[in-house]
Structure 1
Amino acid sequence: MSVWRNLGERTVYESRWVKVNMADVELPDGRHLDHTVIRLRPVAVATVVNEADEVLLLWRHRFITGAWGWELPSGGTGEGEDPSVAAAREFEEETGWRPGPLRLLLAVDPMPGISTSHHRVYWSDHAEQVRTVPEDAHESARREWVPLAKMPALVARGEVRSANAVAALLMLHHLRLG
């Protein structure tokens, strides 16, 4: 069994959002290499599928990639915070809707070769609108209930680009309509 071993790390950059470390890694054949490790807080994601099999999505521009796309409300979890509580909070802040009880849909690690970015995606089958304008309205150009049946085509056209949203929306499409 070939296993890479992390023999230790030193921090090369740190902020409240990210820590970038350089790891001394021993390969299975005994060679060593320096490997970048990006350490991030866990991410909590939430979605709601209503009775019409529509999903509430955010249409956002990401300046880092220069791309627009549909996303799910998400954010980092606080130290010791329950990820489902963080997911519900982010959903309400970013959409103006309060989700019903959330259930874990899936957990993904989008970049396990370089990052500890762990995403837990939750979903509910109902939500209550508590504000007409979300608390974090600046985070998206619009919010829309989009038919779950459209998800495979949206993903194929590159209109859903975030890895956690792609995984969650295709999983929900399969579970609800498959």
Structure 2
Amino acid sequence: MTQWAVRGRRQVYGSPWVELWLDDVDIPGVGRVDHHVVRMPKECANAVVTDGDGRFLMLYRHRFITGRWGWELPSGWVEPGEDPAAAAAREVEEETGWRPGEVAPLTRLDAMSGISTMHFHCFHATGATRIGEPVDRAEASRVEWLAEDEVVRLLTTGEVAEGASLAALSYFLGPHRLTARGGADR
């Protein structure tokens, strides 16, 4: 097995949201190089929110960085000391105006493991109750409950392009569902 060895690191930029570092790494068979690393001071959490009728709670929004409109799951930072499941529930409520009931672990992922420490905790939330308008109105143009066949269409046409939403929805509709039904070998 080959493992890169970190010989040192230097911070180039830092803020409460993102840090850019240059790590001095020794790559077996290559030698020492400066490798850019984007460190995220906080982890993230998102939630696949479903209701009893096979619908999914989704946000439609514009991302100025990519210049794209698309569908996403409620998502956000896990504050220091906060339980990731509580963070996911808080984000659902703030961004959609719906308060989830049960919030269960779904999967975890490293969004860009070759260059970043961005880590997501993904949950499945059920039993959502409407409590009012979203607190954070800048998060989405629309908040809608979408039928499963529509969510699958959005996934296959690229209208869910945000990585953590794409991963959590795909995991939920695939391995999670197969395992819950006993359809996958373990």
TM-score for the superposition, normalised by structure 1: 0.94
Aligned ranges 1:72-151 → 2 under 5 Å: 72-131=73-132, 133-151=133-151
Aligned to 1:163: 163
Whichever residue aligns with residue 25 of structure 1, its letter is V
Is 2:24 the counterpart of 1:16?
no
Aligned to 2:32: 32
Whichever residue aligns with residue 88 of structure 1, its letter is A
Unmatched 5+ stretches in structure 1 = none
Asked whether the equivalents of residues 151 and 170 of structure 1 are also in contact (C-alpha less than 8 Å), the reply is no
Cα deviation code 1:16-62 (max 9, x no counterpart): 10111000000112610000111111001123110111100000000
Whichever residue aligns with residue 103 of structure 1, its letter is A
Unmatched 5+ stretches in structure 2 = none
Greater CA drift, 117-126 or 143-152: 143-152
> CA shift at 1:152, angstroms?
2.8
Q: Tell me, in whole angstroms, the C-alpha distance in 2 between the residues paired with 1:54 and 1:134.
A: 19
Q: Tell me, in whole angstroms, the C-alpha distance in 2 between the residues paired with 1:44 and 1:12.
A: 27
Whichever residue aligns with residue 106 of structure 2, its letter is L
Secondary structure, counterpart of 1:24 in structure 2: strand
Whichever residue aligns with residue 85 of structure 1, its letter is A
> CA shift at 1:137, angstroms?
1.5
Q: Tell me, in whole angstroms, the C-alpha distance in 1 between the residues paired with 2:48 and 2:169.
A: 9
> CA shift at 1:66, angstroms?
0.3
Secondary structure, counterpart of 1:167 in structure 2: helix
Asked whether the equivalents of residues 56 and 151 of structure 2 are also in contact (C-alpha less than 8 Å), the reply is no
> CA shift at 1:8, angstroms?
1.7
Whichever residue aligns with residue 144 of structure 1, its letter is E
Aligned to 1:7: 7
Q: Compute the RMSD of aligned alpha carbons.
A: 1.6
> CA shift at 1:150, angstroms?
2.6
> CA shift at 1:112, angstroms?
0.0
Cα deviation code 1:146-168 (max 9, x no counterpart): 11233332112110011111111
Q: Tell me, in whole angstroms, the C-alpha distance in 2 between the residues paired with 1:3 and 1:123.
A: 34
Asked whether the equivalents of residues 47 and 91 of structure 1 are also in contact (C-alpha less than 8 Å), the reply is no
Secondary structure, counterpart of 1:161 in structure 2: coil
